[in-house]
Structure 1
Amino acid sequence: MSRTCSITNKQANNGYAVSHSHRRSKKLQHVNLQSKRIWNSKLKRWEKVKVSTKAIKKLIAL
């Protein structure tokens, strides 16, 4: 399974690591993924999914 959120489809972002002398090197900014069990009401069972923390906050607000 790749590093993507199963709800929001968020993936890694390209960015730069900037040193003190302002030299830039490429780096990946990964999504903050957590493994969670979410109840699927249609299938009437728990499903284990990789979800970003922003998606978890949205699920709690519902």
Structure 2
Amino acid sequence: MVKECTLTGKKSNNGYTVSHSHIRTKKIQHINLQTKKIWSDKQKRWIKIKICTKAIKSLHKLKV
């Protein structure tokens, strides 16, 4: 299963965990995905999608 936002297309990010002795180990920074039901005017029904929290915030800002 791909951890990707359906609206924005955001994916996981690669990074490093750096210890006190500066030893770097790889880690993956996952995006904050949430399942949300959104009303579709075209289909006249609720659609359940996986969406990141930044996109949810912008939807609230647009009053959708």
Structure 1 segments of 4+ aligned residues over 6 angstroms from their partners: none
1:5-42 deviation per Cα after TM superposition (whole angstroms, max 9, x unaligned): 00000000010011111100111000000011011111
Identity over aligned residues, as a percent?
Answer: 60
Q: TM-score w.r.t. structure 2 length?
A: 0.92
- When the two chains are superposed, the root-mean-square deviation of aligned CA atoms in Å is 0.8
Extract unaligned runs of 5+ from structure 2. Answer: none
How many angstroms does 1:54 deviate by? 0.1
Aligned length: 62
Extract unaligned runs of 5+ from structure 1. Answer: none
Q: Which amino acid aligns with 1:26?
A: K
